Amino acid sequence: MTPVDVGELVRIRARHPEAIAEAAARRKRRDLLGPSGRLMIVAADHPARGALAVGRNPMAMADRADLLARLCEALSRPGVDGVLATADILDDLLLLGALEGKVVMGSMNRGGLAGAAFELDDRFTGHRPEDIQRLGFDAGKLLLRVDYDDPGSLTTLEATARAVDEMAARRLPVFVEPFLCRRTAAGVLRNDLGADAVTRSIAIASGLGGTSAYTWLKVPVTENPDDMARVMETSTLPAVLLGGDLAGNPDDTDTAYEKWRGALRLPTVQGLVAGRTLLYPPDGDVAGAVDTAVGLL
């Protein structure tokens, strides 16, 4: 991977902050779906929630120069369509010239900090719809976690519906990532990946807002991959699969690829959005991990 000159990024930010908007204005854009009709997006919006861990390393994503180098490597690979990230990371990538001809997705709600008591009152502290439009980005993404026992989920549901409306008013796609979840006896939040839970989360997310015309779904593969065909019958909205942290086990990586391969054959599934699995593979080969994922499409 090519090292990133952090000193130069800091110099530009300190002396010429307007350079970020200028880079966004001259960025070469493209359609959301390329000629293949499929979508391969690399995700890097975890740090803004304080979620820095990858596998057994609790601070893996804390080194920004290393993260940017990994992102630039991933974005340079054939078949990678774009990136999902928060404003700070996308601003750096704009200055590095890494977003030319790529799909750029802004991460919208990051207020539900990992491990916080208010985690499910997930405020929209990231990109606003007007920011995504102003910067010429291509889509937004939001996280919708629902715990029937946590009143904070209702606040997030309402805010999500209004965000869907505001994005649709601008004719901008918004990717909704829904989960049903619950807290363990120790208070740790866990997503329920059972088929029934994922089905209900898709049904809830699909009905938010005054129109679903610009809504996409970002869904996990269920615990039993054989359930995915039934689960994805719940909605006609286009969907992408999401990746996750595989705890640094190479065997888990191979299993994830096989799960993705099967689900990508389903008619509503249009692509893949994966982050830590590709950026921090157990063998350290970012290019190899990305190329394998692209091959699944």
| Residues 145-163: tens digit of each pLDDT | 999 999 999 999 999 999 9
Protein fold of 6-24+39-296: TIM Barrel (3.20.20)
Q: What is the mean pLDDT of residues 14-27?
A: 98
Pinpoint the alpha helices (H) of 179-245: 195-206, 228-231
Confidence grade of residue 34 (pLDDT, cut at 50, 70, 90): confident
Q: Which two tokens stand for residue 282?
A: 């157990």
Question: Is the pLDDT reported for residue 115 higher than 80?
Answer: yes
d(CA 183, CA 149): 9
Question: Is the pLDDT reported for residue 247 higher than 60?
Answer: no
All structural domains of the chain with their residue ranges: 6-24+39-296
pTM of the complete model beyond 0.85: yes
Using DSSP's 3-state secondary structure scheme, residue 111 falls into: coil
d(CA 55, CA 201): 26
d(CA 132, CA 105): 8
Q: What is the mean pLDDT of residues 57-78?
A: 97
Q: Where are the extended beta strands (E) located within the chain?
A: 39-44, 82-85, 103-107, 139-146, 174-183, 189-191, 215-219, 239-242, 269-274
d(CA 214, CA 176): 10
